[in-house]
């Protein structure tokens, strides 16, 4: 197993090295410079500890309103329970560098976990149940770059890995899929106050047998990729994520988010989010929805 892993890392590192002939950090002479370089390359942004880094946005929405939610209750709620149109919603997401600069290749190995939950917080008549939770562990190899620039744009990283997402439910409410994911990210800084980041992600679903597949048409709605744009100007940040953009059908999904630090606490962000189209959650991936949410966050994309 160790030999196989080493061979895979060498192959991935070799492909990524088409863009850089050697690990940029290892070209430095002083140990302290090498250490600082690796910290920068890993994009260290501690979340709860130095080893846990914010991955996707981390937020808690006090109000998430969808005018169609009660009407669609049978899709997500058991035993004939009628969902409230307004609920709570939260997401926590972190990543951890399991190993960096594997075998001197400049390739890092990452693990991440994201959980998004939809909580019928105000539905007290039914004991405020969780309507849906999506669990998303993933692991990937990543090659980061420090000095690849073209007309002001910098290539940040290229990565390749595996992603699992499911809702942990059974029977008619079960939703899950596995996919291989390839991504690339670039960004541009016009000044210390203005930054635009763009990430392109494409994936291929790992097929299951028809007997085991709870949602064989899922990729018709979740697509085969997404584009994420994040723009930060001073203390304002706006992000736009679009799924299924190039499929040629009308099953797109979009998330438009805005954040700004609260006046009394710079570490907490006021957060507004609009999601539209398909795929906000796994349970209703094939239903078109428009949802507006307001809450707080401790991490956006940038």
Q: Give the catalytic positions in this structure.
A: 164, 166
Query: Token match 């994936």: residue?
Result: 203
3-state secondary structure of 237: strand
Query: Token match 């990283």: residue?
Result: 157
| Both tokens assigned to 53 | 């880094």
Phi-psi label, residue 19: left if phi above 0, alpha if psi -120 to 50, beta otherwise? alpha
Alpha helices in 182-241 (DSSP H): 218-222
**CB neighbourhood size of 76 (10 A):** 21
Q: Which residues of the chain form beta strands (DSSP E)?
A: 46-49, 52-54, 58-65, 86-99, 107-119, 130-144, 149-150, 153-166, 176-191, 194-205, 225-233, 236-243, 253-262, 265-277, 289-299
**CB neighbourhood size of 58 (10 A):** 21
Rounded CA separation 235/238 (Å):
10
Contact 219, 226 (CB under 8 A): no
User: Which residues, in sequence order, are bridge partners of residue 6?
Assistant: none
């Amino acid at each position: 197993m160790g030999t196989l892993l080493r061979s895979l890392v060498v192959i991935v590192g070799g492909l990524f090295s088409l863009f850089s002939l050697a690990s940029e950090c290892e070209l430095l002479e002083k140990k302290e410079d090498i250490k600082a370089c690796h910290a920068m390359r890993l994009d260290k942004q501690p979340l709860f500890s130095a080893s846990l880094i914010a991955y996707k946005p981390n937020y808690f929405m006090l109000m998430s309103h969808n005018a169609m939610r009660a009407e669609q209750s049978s899709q997500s709620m058991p035993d004939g329970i009628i969902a409230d149109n307004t609920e709570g919603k939260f997401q926590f997401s972190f990543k951890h560098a399991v190993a960096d600069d594997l075998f001197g290749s400049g390739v890092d190995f990452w693990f991440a976990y994201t959980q998004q939950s939809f909580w019928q917080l105000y539905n007290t008549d039914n004991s405020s149940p969780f309507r849906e939770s999506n669990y998303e562990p993933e692991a990937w190899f990543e090659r980061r770059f420090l000095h690849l620039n073209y007309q002001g744009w910098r290539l940040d990283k290229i990565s390749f890995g595996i992603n699992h997402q499911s809702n942990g439910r059974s029977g008619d409410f079960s939703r899950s899929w596995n996919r291989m994911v390839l991504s690339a990210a670039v960004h541009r800084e016009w000044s210390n106050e203005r930054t635009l980041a763009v990430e392109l992600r494409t994936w291929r679903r790992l097929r299951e047998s028809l007997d085991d597949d709870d949602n064989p048409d899922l990729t018709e709605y979740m697509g085969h990729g997404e584009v994420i744009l994040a723009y930060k100007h001073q203390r304002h940040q706006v992000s736009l994520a679009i799924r299924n953009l190039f499929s040629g059908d009308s099953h797109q999904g979009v998330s438009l988010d805005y954040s700004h630090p609260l006046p009394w606490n710079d570490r907490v962000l006021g957060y507004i989010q609009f999601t539209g189209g398909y795929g906000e959650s796994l349970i209703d991936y094939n239903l078109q929805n428009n949802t507006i949410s307001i809450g707080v966050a401790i991490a956006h994309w940038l």
